[in-house]
Amino acid sequence: MNDSMATALKSIFPEDQLRFDQESLQTYGRDWTRFYKVDPSAIVFPSTTEQVRDLVLLARKNKWALVPSGGRTGLSGGAVASHREIVVSMERMNRILDFDDFDLTLKVEAGVITEEIQKWAAEKNLFYPVDFAARGSSHIGGNVATNAGGIKVVRYGLTRDWVVGLTVVTGKGEVLKLNQSLIKNASGYDLRHLFVGSEGTLGFITEVELKLAQPPLPMHVMVLATSNLKNLMHIFRQSREQLPITAFEMFSELALQKVLAHHSSLSRPFATSAPYYVLVEFEEKSADTVDKALALFESLLESGHIEDGILSQSPTQAAELWKLREYISESLAPFTPYKNDISVRVSKATDFLSAADEILKKAYPDYEVVWFGHIGDGNLHINILRPKAMAIEEFVKSCRGADDLLYNLIQDYQGSISAEHGVGLTKRSFLSKARSQEEIEILRSIKKIFDPDNIINPGKLFEPN
């Protein structure tokens, strides 16, 4: 941190919106990844779009790199500052700005926490349906930047589907108001959709306009155990045809064991253990929905597609069953897992999983590999656990070899190297496994339009030139 930078930043930010102390640098300079050096120059906390714009103009003049930072729950290093960047935390931009009770649209600043939006909507008897385990920390701006998906995609889609307007500050310091809550707007290329999933590489998202949904009906949860991966597709098809499903999740026996070991208050959903479990959530659309679920359960048991199962008898029990799935990530955290977050077409999910599991077992017989994911949308999370005795660096290096094997398989399956976590730092060297060289050149050219000096989150998404 040099003096001239400090002086210049103080011309934009009052003292309480600016930090240089080591603790803040280390806290705000990273996300949930643990594999990167954390070394920012300063942390700034803008409270208005104008401050963000002034900062970008200043940074542009001085060729300073800026890293947008939200709730820091990212898993791809998209918000990590390793090269003396200025981290721009959006946490002061946390106001609910406007609600239109006719259009059912909500305008918020980018730093509002996802769960606050969910709660705010619920108070109005409405529903913000994008939901995932990090809801209590993640910012809506970060959700937009990564096109967050989560656990209800099978029913409600991704963040993209709920964004009706954005205010952004580009890397040139332009403030753009994109779409402004129109439902229909055929007036040229939709730049809003470029910013959704851009991982903070085109500019800063400062305000988000969302549409809200009608509240869901009462929910029920079934957890089912199956001995064979191939059964998952049958269970999914039957569930989808016979129930109004809102989530269809999968986790392995090993995942369950890790959750139970980490959370002593939780217990197995039923006595039977099996290699795989699915969690099916559904809405009680009519009086006979629960009967249909029970009939489905019976028929799957009879046909041998499941070994055992449980249907929640109350919202409390449903929430308890959800914990078995939602607590996986945090239960694995002590193992500094090497994470992959991939997607294939839903119809190919279990075939891919079998093939990938075999490859990983052969290449890394000594590592524990935990599988879970949103099987209903083709998204699988693969966590390779670090053996306690192994140093992080050695472990990561060894896992990168696994990436090569895995990503070649993904390419064969025409899948994606990142389903919902983003490319960030962790996957950037594998971008060519998901996008063609022509596409990558186009992406780079688009980046240049919005950020000609490469000052906004440089090195994320793309390998440095």
Residues 94-123 that bind a second copy (CB under 8 A): 100, 102-103, 105
Residue choice 193, 262, 263, 323 for contact with a second copy (CB under 8 A): 193
β-pairing, 219-226 vs 308-311, is antiparallel
Asked if 138 interacts with a second copy (CB under 8 A), we say: no
Asked if 203 interacts with a second copy (CB under 8 A), we say: no
Task: For 299, list phi and psi in degrees, rounded to 5.
Answer: -70, -35
Residue choice 57, 191, 219, 359 for contact with a second copy (CB under 8 A): 191
Residue choice 93, 196, 356, 406 for contact with a second copy (CB under 8 A): 196
Q: Mask of contacts with a second copy, 323-362, x by CB under 8 A?
A: ------------------x-xxxxx---------------
Asked if 228 interacts with a second copy (CB under 8 A), we say: no
Residue choice 288, 358, 439, 463 for contact with a second copy (CB under 8 A): 439
Q: Is 63 left (phi over 0), alpha (psi -120 to 50) or beta?
A: left
Question: Is the separation of the CB atoms in 379 and 342 below 8 Å?
Answer: yes
Residue 211: CB minimum distance to a second copy, A:
10
Question: Is the separation of the CB atoms in 215 and 305 below 8 Å?
Answer: no
Asked if 180 interacts with a second copy (CB under 8 A), we say: yes
Crossing angle for the helix pair 253-262 and 315-326, to the nearest 10 degrees:
110
Residue choice 72, 337, 427, 458 for contact with a second copy (CB under 8 A): 427
9-45 exposure pattern, b = at least 16 Cβ within 10 A, e = fewer: beebbeeebbbeeeebbeebbbbbbebbebebbbbbb
Among candidates 404, 368, 373, 407, which has minimal Cα distance to 388?
368
Assign 202 to helix, strand or coil.
coil
Pinpoint the alpha helices (H) of 286-416: 289-302, 315-326, 328-332, 349-363, 392-412
Alpha-carbon distance of 112 to 114, in angstroms, equals 6
Region of 49-57, 299-307, 396-404, 422-430 interacting with a second copy (CB under 8 A): 422-430
Could you count the other beta carbons within 10 Å of the beta carbon of residue 217? 14
Q: Mask of contacts with a second copy, 31-70, x by CB under 8 A?
A: ----------------------------------------
Asked if 185 interacts with a second copy (CB under 8 A), we say: yes
Nearer to a second copy, 52 or 153 (CB): 153
Asked if 198 interacts with a second copy (CB under 8 A), we say: yes
Among candidates 354, 304, 154, which has minimal Cα distance to 239?
154
Asked if 442 interacts with a second copy (CB under 8 A), we say: yes
Query: Of residues 267-326, which lie at the interface with a second copy (CB under 8 A)?
Result: 286
Nearer to a second copy, 104 or 266 (CB): 104
Here the tokens at position 438 are 């022509």
Asked if 443 interacts with a second copy (CB under 8 A), we say: yes
Residue choice 117, 279, 311, 417 for contact with a second copy (CB under 8 A): 417
Residue choice 51, 329, 418, 426 for contact with a second copy (CB under 8 A): 418
